[in-house]
Amino acid sequence: MNCIFCEILNGNIPCNKVFENDNFIAILDAFPANEGHTLIIPKKHFENIFEIDGEILKEGYFIAQKIANSIKKSFGIENINILQNNGALAGQTVNHFHIHIVPRKENDNVIIKSTPVSIDNEKIKNIIDSIKSNM
Ligand code: AMP
Ligand code: ZN
């Protein structure tokens, strides 16, 4: 399998590691959106949110909180985005599940924006029914 994060985990590609335990590593993003942009990566290859084991997912977000707190202390930063992309249309470029921690600063270059779409009440009802019944 041709996976850059598996190659990092195997030690074949260097990385800037900030955290490691039995199930995860956290590394600095090689093309950071801001100083301290960190990726939390499970050691086991799961492609995305649909595939990852629930217990591992929980641990990943627990680690995200730990690292967010550490970044807050380290950089005196109060604003952080936690992002996680699934699928090419959602911006996923590395198909090995990972959580982004993006520290935010005033007037930085990070843009996370959308404009609202309008959805009529009938459609909203269908959306609710559909999500509930497929859970
Ligand atoms: P995503 O677009 O959500 O799949 O995020 C993939 C992230 O991995 C991007 O922010 C890239 O900058 C980052 N990335 C790609 N290659 C490397 C690498 N060798 N080491 C660290 N980060 C990387
Ligand atoms: Zn992988």
Does ligand 1 lie within 6 Å of residue 25's CB atom? no
Q: Quick one: average pLDDT of 113-125?
A: 97
Please check the confidence at residue 1 and state whether its pLDDT lies above 80.
no
Residue 51, pLDDT score: 98
Does ligand 1 lie within 6 Å of residue 86's CB atom? no
Does ligand 1 lie within 6 Å of residue 127's CB atom? no
Q: Does residue 126 fall inside a structural domain?
A: no
What percent helix, strand, coil does the chain show, rounded to 5?
35, 20, 50
Structural domain total, the chain: 1
Instruction: Considering every ligand atom shown, identify the ligand nearest to the alpha carbon of residue 47 and give its number.
Output: 2
Q: Does residue 69 fall inside a structural domain?
A: yes
| Domain range for 17 | 4-110
Q: Does residue 119 fall inside a structural domain?
A: no
Q: Does residue 123 fall inside a structural domain?
A: no
Q: Does residue 101 fall inside a structural domain?
A: yes
- Of the candidates 45, 16, 43, the residue with the CA atom closest to the CA atom of residue 32: 16
**In angstroms, what is the span from residue 42 Cα to ligand 1's centroid?**
14
Catalytic residue among 37, 45, 96, 98: 98
Q: Is 100 an annotated catalytic residue?
A: no
Q: What is the mean pLDDT of the chain?
A: 97
Q: Does residue 16 fall inside a structural domain?
A: yes
Please check the confidence at residue 134 and state whether its pLDDT lies above 90.
yes
Q: What are the structure tokens assigned to 9, written together?
A: 């985990």
Q: Does residue 120 fall inside a structural domain?
A: no
Q: Residue 46: pLDDT band by 50, 70, 90 thresholds?
A: very high
CATH number of the structural domain spanning residue 11: 3.30.428.10
Please check the confidence at residue 38 and state whether its pLDDT lies above 80.
yes
Q: Does residue 118 fall inside a structural domain?
A: no
